[in-house]
Amino acid sequence: MNALEIKDLHINIAEKPIVKGFNLTVRKGEVHAIMGPNGTGKSTLAKAIAGHPDYEITSGSVLLDGRNILEMEPDERARAGLFLAFQYPCEIPGVSIANFLRAASQARLPEGEEIDATAYYKRLYSKMDALKIDRKFTSRSVNEGFSGGEKKRCEILQMAMLEPAYSIMDETDSGLDIDALKIVAEGVNALRGPNLGVLLITHYQRLLDYIVPDFVHVMYDGRIVKSGDKSLALELEARGYDWVKELVATPATATA
């Protein structure tokens, strides 16, 4: 199937079950939001799908357009079309954004094929123009001394250049100010389209004021306990997360 399919996923950290039977299918063109209280396993889910070695997948599967990505190394997962954006991206002093993105683009080419510099810069600048990013930005070192908003711009630019099929964005626990939120939202909205599926993880409803999701899922205690449309996010905003805990007794009727 042309989708990112997460099936009955169970994830342990240090032998402790954190994600406990997570099911979700994200098709291209769709934006799914996952919301849930802190400590519920949202970031664990994102990191394990990316291939983080501390997160042990004990059962279940993750298929990307039918291919089992759990058998792939993290870089292979990226080449297969998966992109992960993290809340706290690392700094790479001495490596300019232009060179970093060029290396990342180069890594996607078949062995022995060299990136065409002129075409690369043309593409980079057109993506930057579309995202309204100043060209001066590319000569700065990756994330070094960046504000929260600039880190987000850098992340969105990476996503634009790598053109993933599926993007998982963990915006949880955010120290994101409203400007940074808007940058993420503008970026996602600009890149949104039939060739991209987005899984947007957020603790706060307000990001969804700017990125209107097609589906909203509530995660609690390692799995989805309720799914709905954008009105579910508003309900969470109004009612908080306490009522969600009661849903656990009758779990996950709708897993989408």
Q: Where along the sequence are the contacts to ligand ADP (CB under 6 A)?
A: 13-14, 18, 36, 38-44, 54, 172
44 binds, among Mg ion, ligand ADP, none (CB under 5 to 8 A by kind): ligand ADP
Q: What are phi and psi of 218, to 5 degrees?
A: -100, 125
According to the binding rule CB under 5 A, does residue 205 interact with Mg ion?
no
Shortest Å, Cβ 38 to ligand ADP? 4
151 binds, among Mg ion, ligand ADP, none (CB under 5 to 8 A by kind): none
- The phi-psi region of residue 85 (left if phi > 0; otherwise alpha if psi is between -120 and 50; otherwise beta) is beta
CA atoms within 13 A on the CB side of 134: 5
Nearer to ligand ADP among residue 125 and residue 241 (C-beta) = 241
Tokens encoding 92: 């790479």
Region binding Mg ion by CB under 5 A among candidate stretches 5-13, 40-48, 105-113, 125-133: 40-48
Rounded Cα gap, residues 1 and 224, in angstroms = 21
Tokens encoding 231: 């009105």
Region binding Mg ion by CB under 5 A among candidate stretches 35-43, 50-58, 140-148, 213-221: 35-43
Nearer to Mg ion among residue 172 and residue 255 (C-beta) = 172
CA terminus-to-terminus distance, the chain: 15
Rounded Cα gap, residues 44 and 138, in angstroms = 31
Rounded Cα gap, residues 37 and 171, in angstroms = 13
Nearer to Mg ion among residue 37 and residue 149 (C-beta) = 37
Nearer to ligand ADP among residue 124 and residue 218 (C-beta) = 218
Opening angle at CA 132, ends 109 and 193, nearest 5: 60
39 binds, among ligand ADP, Mg ion, none (CB under 5 to 8 A by kind): ligand ADP
Using CB under 5 A, which of 9, 19, 32, 43 touches Mg ion?
Answer: 43
Total number of residues binding Mg ion (CB under 5 A)?
4
According to the binding rule CB under 5 A, does residue 172 interact with Mg ion?
yes
Residues sharing a CB contact under 8 Å with residue 160, sequence separation 6 or more, in sequence order: 127, 130, 131, 187, 190, 191
Beta strands 215-220 and 223-228 are antiparallel
Shortest Å, Cβ 21 to ligand ADP? 15
Nearer to ligand ADP among residue 39 and residue 240 (C-beta) = 39
Nearer to Mg ion among residue 167 and residue 172 (C-beta) = 172
According to the binding rule CB under 5 A, does residue 202 interact with Mg ion?
no
Shortest Å, Cβ 128 to ligand ADP? 31
- The phi-psi region of residue 60 (left if phi > 0; otherwise alpha if psi is between -120 and 50; otherwise beta) is left
13 binds, among Mg ion, ligand ADP, none (CB under 5 to 8 A by kind): ligand ADP
Rounded Cα gap, residues 101 and 148, in angstroms = 19
**14: helix, coil or strand?**
coil
Interacting residue ranges for Mg ion, rule: CB under 5 A: 42-43, 172-173
